C-alpha cells in the first residue's frame, strides 16, 4: 500500500531561524497518526506546511504518489487536505450551512446561492457525523466543540482525504472528546487519514495508530503507539539535550516577597496558591494553554482574578489594573513582545522609560538629561546593541528588543518580576546573557516568577518549579527533585481532572 | 514575525530624515503657497491681510489642535464643529432669555464640556468605535442646535461682538489665542509626560496599558478638552459673527480633519505634531483665501479641500511607511 | 431557546413593534394620523432614504462607511439636470442610466481609494463628500435646475400611479428593496459581502476576493445614490447644487443603524433596514401633527443612532455572558 501522503526532507526557516530540519514523514491511508513533542518542537509547523499555511524552505510533498505544490490553504483544500484550527476560522454571522460551502461554490458573482440544496447537504453531513445541530443557525453562539464539528463537516464536504487536527481536544469537555473520537475513528474506517496533534498522552494512546515524535525541529522517531510506553514517549520528547547553564548558588531567602492564595478566574484557572520568597526564582511550567499566562495577567491586573488574595511584602493588595501592580512593586515582561511589549515606531529610549513617569518627570515635565541617563545606563548594563538610543526599537533584533523591555522594568526597581517566556525567539548567545541577568536580579534580592515552556531553562534557573495543567497547580517541585520527567508528568493532562 | 535589524536608520543622513518628516513638507508647502499666492495678489505679502484672513479660520483651527491630539491617541472626533454650534446656540439662547452674560458664557462652556463627556462615555466606558459615535453625536448636536436656535439668528449684545477686531500688538485676539494654545499644546506634547503617554497610547495601546499607563483616563481628558475647546471656539465665532444660527461652523469637521491631516498627523495614531497642525492651519488659510482672491468659485474651493484631504492622508501614509518598517 | 423567543428577539420584530406602538400612540392623540392619506404622506417621505439605505447597508456590512452619498446624489441628479436643460433633444429617460452610472463611478472612486491606498473609508468619504459637492457646483456653475427643465413625466412619477393609486416612485423603491434582497440573500457575491464583514481575516483564506467585494459595495452604494438623485428631481421638481442631498448621509446611516446593521460588519438584513427606514418615516411624518417643529428632525436622527449603538452594545455584552467569554 502506498502511503497517502509523504513529506520528504522538509526544512523551514523563519527569518533565518530554522524551526524544522530535514523532516521525513509518512501518513498511511486509513490511519490516525499523532504528532508529539514539546512546545516549539516543530509538529505544528509541519502540519501547517502540509496544509499550505506555510511554504517549506526545502523539501517536497507527495500526495497519493503524485508530487504536489501546496502554496496556500485554498490549494490544500482543493487537493483534499484540511487543517482544523484550534480556534476555528469561521464567519460568525453566517449560518452553519453557509460556513460549510463558502468559498467552494463555482460560478460567477451573481450565480445563485442554492439554499435548499445547501441546507439539505449540510443536514446530511451533520447526520453523517452524528451531530444534532441546527444548520440554519449562525455560527456565533455555537460551542467550540460544535464549531469544530462544522470544520470537520467542511472537510467532508470537500471530500478531504487528509484531515489535520491541531490540539482539537484542548477546549473540549470529556464527553465532547468522546464524540470527537468516535467521529475520528469512523473517518479513519472510511479510509481517510487523520493527523492528530495533542499533548495528552492518554488520548494519543486511546485514539492513534502511530505516533511521530519531534524534538528541536527534528523528527526523532515514528512507531506504533502500542509499541511505546508513556515513559518511552516522554523520554523521546525531552531527549538528552540538557547542558547546564549555571550552577550558580541560590539566593533564596526566607523573607516572603509575595503570597498568593486561592486565585480563581473561572474558565482560566482555579485555586492557585503559592508563596514567593525574596531572592527566589520560582518556575512556572506547563503546556501551552495550561493557564500560566492567565495567572500572570491576573497578578498584574490586566485581566484580574475574580477571587483570591494577593499579599506583597506582607501587605494585602488590591490589583485592578497594571498601574496598581506597578505601585506595589510588581513588574511583568509579557509573552507577546510585539503586541504587548514594544512601541515599534518609537525610540529605544522612549521604550525603556515608558514605565517610570515619576522618575523622568517628577513634576510633569520630562527631564531629558535624567531620562537619557537612565536609558543609557541600562543600555550599557544589559549590553543592548543599537546604533543610536533614538533609533526606532522596531529596527532592533528580537533579543535586543527584549532587553529593552527588561530594562524598562528594572528601572521601576521591582520587588517581584514576572517573566513570561522571556527567551522565546531569541538567539542562543543572547539567551545565556538573559540567564545571567535573571540570576543577578535574584541575587539582588528580587523575587522572580519565571514562566517557561523550555524545561532545561526551568531546571537550570529555578529554585522551585510549580507546574500547571488545565488551570490547576499540579506540582510544586523542589530544585533537588526536579527533572524533565517530573515536570512533564505533572504537565500532561489527566482525563479525570476537571477543567478549571 | 520577528524582523531582523535593518541598517536603514544609519544609512540615511540626518538632514534627509528631517526632510521627509511630514511637518517639514507642510512648511515647504506653506512657503510655496505664499509665493504662489503673492503672484496672484500683493495682499499676500501683507502680514495684516493674512492675519485678518486667519480670523475666519482661527476658531476651527483651535479645535483642530485638540483633534490632532485625539488622533495621535488613536481615536477621532468628528463632532467638534457641531459642538461649536450647540454651545454657541445655548449661550445665545440663554442670554436672549435674560440670563446674565457671565452665566450664559458659563452655560455655553459647560454645554461643550458635557458634550465631550458624552463622547467619552460612549467611546471609553462603552467601548464603542469613536468613528461611528462621533458621527452620531455630530448629527445630535447639530440637530439640538437647530431646536435651540430655531431657524432664526439670535442677535448678541453690541459689546460682545467683534472680538476679531480687537488687537493685541496688532494681532487679532482669536489669532493670539490660537497661537498661545498652539504653543502650550506643543509644549505639552513635546516635553511633558502627559504628551509622551499620548504618543505611547496611540502607538500601541495594549503595550501602554501593560506599562501601567492609564489610557482610559488620558483619553477621557482628551475628549473633555475637545468639548471645552469647541465651546470656546463656538463663543468666539459667535462674537465674530455678531449672531448665532444653528449652522454656525457647518461642515467645519472637514477643515478640522484637514488641518490635522495636512499637518502630518498619522490617521492610525501615534504620530503627528502640534507644530504640523499649526503650520497646516496657515496653509489652509493661504490656500482658501488665495482661491477667493483669485476669484475661484466657492465650489472649486470645496473640491480643492476634499482633494487636499485625500492627498494629504495618502502622502502622510507613504512618508511614514517609508521611514518605518 | 424556543422558536418563538428567537423570532421575538430578532431585530426586525423589535422595530416592527416600535413602529406599531409609535403609530398607535400618535393615533390615540391625533386620530388623523391613522388614515390612508397620512400613509401616503409617510410613504412619499421614505423612497429616497430607502434606496440610499440599501446601498449603505452593504457598505456597513462590509465594515466600511460611505459619508459621500448625499453629494453623489446631488452630482448625479445634476448630471441629468444639465442634460435636460442643455440637451433637451436627448430623450429625458436617458437621465436614469446617466445618473446611475455617474453615481456608480463616483462610488467606485471611493472604493479604489479605500482598497488601493488602504485608507479608512470614513476619512476618504469625508473628503469625497466635499469633493463631489464641489463638483456639483462646478458642473452647474452654482445654478439650480429649475422646475421648467425637469421633465414633467418624471415629476409625475411621484404623483401618478400605474395601479391602486400608488405612485411610481414607490414601486421603484420596492423594486430596489426586492433586488437588494435577492442580491444579498441569493447571490454568491452578496453572501461574500457579509462573510467579509463578519471575519475579514478569514475571508481571503476562504477564497474571497477582498478587493473586488470592496469595490462592488462602494459602486453599488454610489449607483443607488445616483438613482436616489434622479428620484429627488422627480419628487421635488428641481436640483439645487447646495441643498440637494445635503444631510442625506445622516438620515441614511441613522436608518441603517436602527435597522440592525452592525457597525462591526457582517450583520444586517434588508427587512431590518426597510423597517428602520419606515420607523424614521413614521416619526418624520408625525412631527408636524404633534406640533413639533421640523427642526427637531436631525436631533431625533442623532439620538436614534446613539440609542441604537447603545442597544447593540448591551445586547453584545449579554451575548458574551451567555456564551462565556473565550479569549
Q: At what angle do helices C248-258 and C270-289 cross, to 10 degrees?
A: 120
B267 and C119: CB-CB below 8 Å? yes
Is residue B320 within 8 Å of residue B266, measured between CB atoms?
yes
Q: Is A89 on the interface with C (CB under 8 A)?
A: yes
Asked if the model's pLDDT at residue A377 lies above 90, the reply is: yes
Asked if the model's pLDDT at residue A201 lies above 60, the reply is: yes
Q: How close B287 comes to chain C (CA, Å)?
A: 16
Instruction: For residues A373 and A381, give the distance between their C-alpha atoms in angstroms, rounded to a whole number.
Output: 12
A neighbours by CB contacts (3+ pairs under 8 Å): B, C
Torsion-angle region of A193 (φ positive above 0: left; ψ -120 to 50: alpha; else: beta)? beta
Give the mean pLDDT of A231-256. Answer: 69
Asked if the model's pLDDT at residue A430 lies above 60, the reply is: yes
**What is the predicted pLDDT for the residue at C113?**
93
Asked if the model's pLDDT at residue A239 lies above 80, the reply is: no
Of the candidates B230, B259, B285, which has an alpha carbon nearest to the alpha carbon of residue B71? B259
Residue B320's pLDDT band (boundaries 50, 70, 90)? confident
The pLDDT tens digits of the residues spanning A125-165 come to: 888 888 888 888 888 878 778 888 888 888 888 788 999 99
Q: Is A134 on the interface with C (CB under 8 A)?
A: no
Q: What DSSP character marks residue A9? A: E
Nearest to B299 among C118, C134, C299 (CB): C134
Q: Which residues of A91-104 are buried (b: 16+ CB within 10 A; e: fewer)?
A: bbbbbbbbbbbbbe
Residue A478 phi/psi, 5-degree rounding, is: -75, 155
Q: Counting Cβ atoms within 10 Å, is residue C91 exposed (0-12), middle (13-18) or buried (19+)?
A: exposed
Which residues from B are below 8 Å from C122, CB to CB? 76, 78, 131, 135
Q: At what angle do helices B80-96 and B130-149 cross, to 10 degrees?
A: 20
Instruction: For residues C110 and C106, give the distance between their C-alpha atoms in angstroms, rounded to a whole number.
Output: 7
Q: For the whole model, what pTM was predicted?
A: 0.84
Alpha-carbon distance values, A66 to A2, A37, A60, B86, B106 (Å) = 11, 29, 11, 72, 81
B neighbours by CB contacts (3+ pairs under 8 Å): A, C
A91 and C319: CB-CB below 8 Å? no
Instruction: For residues C95 and C92, give the distance between their C-alpha atoms in angstroms, rounded to a whole number.
Output: 6
Q: How close B251 comes to chain C (CA, Å)?
A: 9
Nearest to C187 among A98, A102, A111 (CB): A111
How many Cβ pairs closer than 8 A exist between chain A and C?
A: 80
Mean confidence (pLDDT) of chain B? 87
Which residues from A are below 8 Å from B212, CB to CB? 322-323, 325-326, 355
Q: How far apart are the first and last CA of chain B?
A: 12
Which residues from B are below 8 Å from C244, CB to CB? none
**What is the predicted pLDDT for the residue at C38?**
85
Higher local confidence (pLDDT), C325 or A67? A67
The pLDDT tens digits of the residues spanning A315-370 come to: 999 999 999 999 999 999 998 888 889 998 899 999 999 999 999 999 999 999 99
Percent residues over pLDDT 70 in chain A: 93
Instruction: For residues B231 and B85, give the distance between their C-alpha atoms in angstroms, rounded to a whole number.
Output: 8
B131 and C302: CB-CB below 8 Å? no
Q: Counting Cβ atoms within 10 Å, is residue A66 exposed (0-12), middle (13-18) or buried (19+)?
A: exposed
Q: Helix, strand, or coil here: A264?
A: strand
Of the candidates C191, C205, C61, which has an alpha carbon nearest to the alpha carbon of residue A110? C191
Asked if the model's pLDDT at residue B12 lies above 70, the reply is: no
C191 and A94: CB-CB below 8 Å? yes
Q: How close C304 comes to chain B (CA, Å)?
A: 8
**CB neighbour list of residue B160: distance below 8 Å, 6 or more residues apart:** B101, B238, B239
**What is the predicted pLDDT for the residue at B87?**
96
Give the mean pLDDT of B266-277. Answer: 92
Q: What DSSP character marks residue A308? A: E
Asked if the model's pLDDT at residue A206 lies above 70, the reply is: yes
Q: Is A267 on the interface with C (CB under 8 A)?
A: yes
Which residues from C are below 8 Å from A52, CB to CB? none
Residue A139 phi/psi, 5-degree rounding, is: -65, -35
Q: Is C1 on the interface with A (CB under 8 A)?
A: no
Instruction: For residues A285 and A287, give the distance between their C-alpha atoms in angstroms, rounded to a whole number.
Output: 7
The pLDDT tens digits of the residues spanning C1-17 come to: 456 666 656 778 888 88
Higher local confidence (pLDDT), A497 or B16? B16
Q: How close C143 comes to chain B (CA, Å)?
A: 11
**What is the predicted pLDDT for the residue at B162?**
83
A366 and B191: CB-CB below 8 Å? yes
- Which of A85, A93, A106, A148 is the best residue to mutate to test the C interface, defined by the most C CB atoms within 10 Å of its own CB? A93
The pLDDT tens digits of the residues spanning C96-132 come to: 999 999 999 999 999 999 998 888 898 899 899 989 9
**CB neighbour list of residue A293: distance below 8 Å, 6 or more residues apart:** A335, A420, A451
Torsion sign across C-alpha atoms C72, C75, C77, C83: negative
What is the Rg, in whole angstroms, of the alpha carbon atoms belonging to chain A?
Answer: 25
- ipTM rounded to 2 decimals: 0.83
Q: How close C214 comes to chain B (CA, Å)?
A: 18
- Which of C71, C121, C127 is the best residue to mutate to test the B interface, defined by the most B CB atoms within 10 Å of its own CB? C127
C126 and B300: CB-CB below 8 Å? no
Kind plus residue range of the DSSP H or E element containing A32: strand A32-36
Residue by residue, pLDDT tens for chain C (327 residues) are 456 666 656 778 888 888 899 899 998 988 888 888 888 888 888 999 999 999 999 999 999 999 999 999 999 999 999 898 888 888 888 989 999 999 999 999 999 999 988 888 988 998 999 899 989 988 888 788 888 888 888 888 877 776 777 788 889 999 999 999 999 998 989 999 999 999 888 888 888 889 999 999 999 999 999 999 999 999 888 888 888 888 899 889 989 988 888 888 888 899 999 999 999 899 888 888 888 877 788 888 888 888 888 877 777 665 544 333 322
**What is the predicted pLDDT for the residue at B47?**
84
Asked if the model's pLDDT at residue A16 lies above 70, the reply is: no
Alpha-carbon distance values, A65 to A6, A58, C63 (Å) = 8, 19, 45
**CB neighbour list of residue A149: distance below 8 Å, 6 or more residues apart:** A126, A129, A131, A133, A183
Is residue B119 within 8 Å of residue B227, measured between CB atoms?
yes
**What is the predicted pLDDT for the residue at B18?**
58
Torsion sign across C-alpha atoms B27, B33, B34, B36: positive
**CB neighbour list of residue C242: distance below 8 Å, 6 or more residues apart:** C133, C137
Q: How close C215 comes to chain A (CA, Å)?
A: 13
C206 and A115: CB-CB below 8 Å? no
B307 and C122: CB-CB below 8 Å? no
Q: Which residues of B touch A (CB under 8 A)?
A: 1-6, 8-10, 191-194, 196-197, 199-200, 203-204, 206-214, 270-271, 320, 324-325
Asked if the model's pLDDT at residue A497 lies above 70, the reply is: no
Give the mean pLDDT of A376-386. Answer: 90
Residue of A nearest to C262 (CA): A93
Instruction: For residues C193 and C184, give the distance between their C-alpha atoms in angstroms, rounded to a whole number.
Output: 8
**What is the predicted pLDDT for the residue at A241?**
46
Is residue C231 within 8 Å of residue C169, measured between CB atoms?
yes
Asked if the model's pLDDT at residue B153 lies above 80, the reply is: yes
Q: How close B152 comes to chain C (CA, Å)?
A: 11
A408 and B211: CB-CB below 8 Å? yes
Amino acid at each position: 500500500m502506498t502511503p497517502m501522503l509523504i513529506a520528504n526532507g522538509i526544512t523551514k526557516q523563519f527569518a533565518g531561524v530554522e524551526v524544522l530540519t530535514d523532516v521525513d514523514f509518512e501518513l498511511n491511508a486509513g490511519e490516525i497518526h499523532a504528532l508529539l513533542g514539546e512546545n516549539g518542537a516543530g509538529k505544528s509547523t509541519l502540519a501547517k506546511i502540509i496544509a499550505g499555511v506555510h511554504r517549506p524552505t526545502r523539501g517536497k510533498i507527495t500526495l497519493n504518489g503524485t508530487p504536489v505544490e501546496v502554496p496556500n490553504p485554498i490549494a490544500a483544500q482543493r487537493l483534499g487536505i484540511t487543517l482544523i484550527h484550534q480556534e476555528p476560522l469561521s464567519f460568525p454571522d453566517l449560518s452553519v450551512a453557509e460556513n460549510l460551502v463558502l468559498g467552494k461554490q463555482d460560478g460567477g458573482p451573481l450565480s445563485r446561492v442554492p439554499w435548499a440544496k445547501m441546507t439539505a447537504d449540510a443536514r446530511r453531513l451533520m447526520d453523517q457525523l452524528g451531530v444534532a445541530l441546527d444548520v440554519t443557525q449562525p455560527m456565533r453562539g455555537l460551542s467550540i466543540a460544535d464549531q469544530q464539528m462544522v470544520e470537520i463537516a467542511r472537510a467532508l464536504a470537500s471530500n478531504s482525504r487528509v484531515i489535520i487536527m491541531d490540539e482539537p481536544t484542548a477546549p473540549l469537555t470529556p464527553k465532547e472528546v468522546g464524540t470527537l473520537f468516535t467521529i475520528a475513528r469512523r473517518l479513519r474506517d472510511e479510509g481517510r487519514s487523520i493527523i492528530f496533534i495533542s499533548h495528552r498522552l492518554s488520548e494519543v494512546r486511546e485514539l492513534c495508530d502511530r505516533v511521530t515524535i519531534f524534538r528541536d525541529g527534528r523528527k526523532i522517531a515514528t512507531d506504533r503507539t502500542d509499541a511505546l510506553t508513556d515513559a518511552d514517549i516522554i523520554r523521546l520528547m525531552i531527549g538528552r539535550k540538557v547542558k547546564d547553564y549555571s550552577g550558580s548558588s541560590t539566593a533564596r531567602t526566607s523573607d516572603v516577597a509575595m503570597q498568593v492564595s486561592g486565585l480563581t478566574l473561572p474558565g482560566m484557572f482555579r485555586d492557585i496558591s503559592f508563596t514567593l520568597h525574596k531572592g527566589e526564582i520560582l518556575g512556572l511550567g506547563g503546556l501551552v494553554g495550561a493557564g500560566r499566562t492567565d495567572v500572570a495577567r491576573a497578578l498584574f491586573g490586566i485581566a484580574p482574578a475574580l477571587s483570591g488574595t494577593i499579599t506583597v511584602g506582607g501587605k494585602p493588595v488590591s490589583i485592578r489594573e497594571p498601574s496598581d501592580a506597578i505601585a506595589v512593586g510588581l513588574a511583568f515582561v509579557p509573552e507577546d513582545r510585539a503586541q504587548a511589549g514594544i512601541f515599534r515606531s518609537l525610540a529605544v529610549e522612549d521604550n525603556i522609560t515608558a514605565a517610570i513617569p515619576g522618575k523622568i518627570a517628577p513634576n510633569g515635565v520630562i527631564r531629558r538629561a535624567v531620562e537619557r541617563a537612565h536609558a543609557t545606563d541600562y543600555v550599557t548594563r544589559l549590553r543592548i546593541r543599537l546604533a543610536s538610543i533614538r533609533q526606532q526599537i522596531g529596527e532592533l533584533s528580537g533579543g535586543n528588543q527584549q532587553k529593552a523591555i527588561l530594562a524598562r522594568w528594572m528601572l521601576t526597581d521591582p520587588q517581584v518580576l514576572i517573566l513570561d517566556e522571556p527567551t522565546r525567539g531569541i538567539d542562543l548567545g543572547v539567551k545565556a546573557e538573559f540567564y545571567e541577568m535573571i540570576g543577578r536580579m535574584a541575587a539582588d534580592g528580587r523575587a522572580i516568577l519565571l514562566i517557561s515552556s523550555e524545561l532545561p531553562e526551568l531546571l537550570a534557573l529555578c529554585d522551585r518549579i510549580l507546574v500547571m495543567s488545565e488551570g490547576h497547580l499540579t506540582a510544586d517541585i523542589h530544585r533537588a527533585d526536579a527533572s524533565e520527567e517530573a515536570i512533564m508528568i505533572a504537565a500532561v493532562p489527566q482525563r479525570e481532572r476537571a477543567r478549571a | 514575525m520577528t524582523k531582523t535589524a535593518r541598517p536603514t536608520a544609519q544609512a540615511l543622513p540626518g538632514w534627509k530624515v528631517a526632510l521627509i518628516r511630514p511637518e517639514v513638507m507642510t512648511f515647504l508647502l506653506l512657503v510655496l503657497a505664499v509665493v504662489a499666492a503673492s503672484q496672484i495678489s500683493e495682499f499676500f505679502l501683507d502680514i495684516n491681510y493674512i492675519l485678518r484672513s486667519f480670523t475666519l479660520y482661527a476658531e476651527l483651527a483651535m479645535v483642530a489642535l485638540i483633534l490632532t491630539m485625539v488622533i495621535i491617541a488613536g481615536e477621532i472626533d468628528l463632532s467638534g464643529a457641531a459642538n461649536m454650534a450647540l454651545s454657541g446656540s445655548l449661550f445665545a439662547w440663554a442670554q436672549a432669555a435674560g440670563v446674565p452674560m457671565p452665566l450664559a458664557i458659563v452655560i455655553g462652556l459647560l454645554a461643550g464640556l458635557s458634550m465631550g463627556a458624552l463622547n467619552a462615555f460612549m467611546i471609553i466606558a462603552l467601548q464603542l468605535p469613536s468613528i461611528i459615535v462621533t458621527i452620531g453625536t455630530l448629527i445630535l448636536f447639530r440637530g439640538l442646535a437647530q431646536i435651540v436656535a430655531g431657524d432664526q439668528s439670535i442677535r448678541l449684545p453690541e459689546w460682545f461682538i467683534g472680538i476679531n477686531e480687537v488687537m493685541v500688538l496688532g494681532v487679532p485676539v482669536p489669532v493670539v489665542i490660537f497661537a498661545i494654545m498652539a504653543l502650550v499644546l506643543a509644549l505639552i506634547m513635546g516635553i511633558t509626560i502627559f504628551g509622551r503617554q499620548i504618543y505611547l497610547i496611540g502607538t500601541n495601546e495594549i503595550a501602554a496599558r501593560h506599562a501601567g499607563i492609564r489610557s482610559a483616563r488620558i483619553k477621557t481628558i482628551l475628549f473633555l478638552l475637545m468639548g471645552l475647546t469647541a465651546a470656546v471656539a463656538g463663543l468666539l465665532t459667535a462674537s465674530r459673527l455678531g449672531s448665532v444660527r444653528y449652522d454656525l461652523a457647518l461642515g467645519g469637521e472637514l477643515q478640522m480633519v484637514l488641518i490635522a491631516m495636512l499637518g502630518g498627523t498619522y490617521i492610525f495614531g501615534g504620530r503627528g505634531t502640534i507644530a504640523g497642525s499649526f503650520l497646516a492651519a496657515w496653509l489652509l488659510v493661504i490656500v482658501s483665501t488665495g482661491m477667493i482672491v483669485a476669484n475661484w468659485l466657492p465650489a472649486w474651493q470645496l473640491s480643492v479641500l476634499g482633494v487636499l484631504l485625500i492627498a494629504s492622508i495618502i502622502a502622510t501614509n507613504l512618508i511614514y511607511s517609508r521611514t518605518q518598517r | 431557546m424556543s422558536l418563538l423567543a428567537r423570532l421575538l428577539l430578532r431585530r426586525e420584530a423589535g422595530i416592527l413593534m416600535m413602529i406599531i406602538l409609535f403609530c398607535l400612540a400618535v393615533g390615540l392623540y391625533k386620530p388623523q394620523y391613522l388614515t390612508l392619506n397620512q400613509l401616503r404622506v409617510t410613504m412619499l417621505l421614505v423612497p429616497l432614504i430607502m434606496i440610499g439605505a440599501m446601498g449603505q447597508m452593504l457598505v456597513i456590512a462590509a465594515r466600511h462607511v460611505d459619508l459621500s452619498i448625499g453629494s453623489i446624489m446631488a452630482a448625479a441628479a445634476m448630471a441629468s439636470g444639465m442634460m435636460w436643460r442643455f440637451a433637451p433633444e436627448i430623450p429625458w429617460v436617458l437621465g436614469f442610466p446617466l445618473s446611475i452610472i455617474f453615481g456608480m463611478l463616483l462610488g467606485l472612486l471611493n472604493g479604489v481609494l479605500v482598497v488601493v491606498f488602504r485608507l479608512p473609508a470614513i476619512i476618504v468619504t469625508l473628503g469625497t463628500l466635499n469633493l463631489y459637492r464641489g463638483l456639483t457646483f462646478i458642473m452647474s456653475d452654482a445654478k439650480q435646475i429649475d422646475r421648467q427643465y425637469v421633465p414633467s413625466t418624471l415629476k409625475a412619477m411621484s404623483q401618478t400611479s400605474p395601479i391602486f393609486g400608488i405612485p411610481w416612485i414607490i414601486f421603484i423603491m420596492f423594486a430596489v428593496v426586492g433586488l437588494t434582497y435577492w442580491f444579498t440573500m441569493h447571490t454568491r457575491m452578496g453572501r461574500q459581502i457579509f462573510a467579509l464583514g463578519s471575519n475579514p481575516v478569514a475571508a481571503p483564506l476562504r477564497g474571497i476576493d477582498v478587493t473586488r467585494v470592496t469595490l462592488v459595495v462602494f459602486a453599488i452604494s454610489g449607483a443607488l445614490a445616483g438613482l436616489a438623485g434622479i428620484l429627488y428631481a422627480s419628487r421635488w421638481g428641481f436640483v439645487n447644487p447646495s441643498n440637494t442631498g445635503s444631510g442625506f448621509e445622516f438620515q441614511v446611516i441613522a436608518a441603517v443603524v436602527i435597522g440592525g446593521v452592525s457597525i462591526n460588519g457582517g450583520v444586517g438584513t434588508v427587512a431590518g433596514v426597510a423597517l428602520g427606514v419606515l420607523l424614521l418615516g413614521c416619526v418624520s411624518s408625525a412631527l408636524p401633527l404633534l406640533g413639533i417643529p421640523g427642526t427637531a428632525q436631525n436631533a431625533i436622527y442623532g439620538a436614534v443612532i446613539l440609542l441604537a449603538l447603545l442597544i447593540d452594545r448591551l445586547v453584545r455584552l449579554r451575548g458574551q455572558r451567555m456564551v462565556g467569554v473565550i479569549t
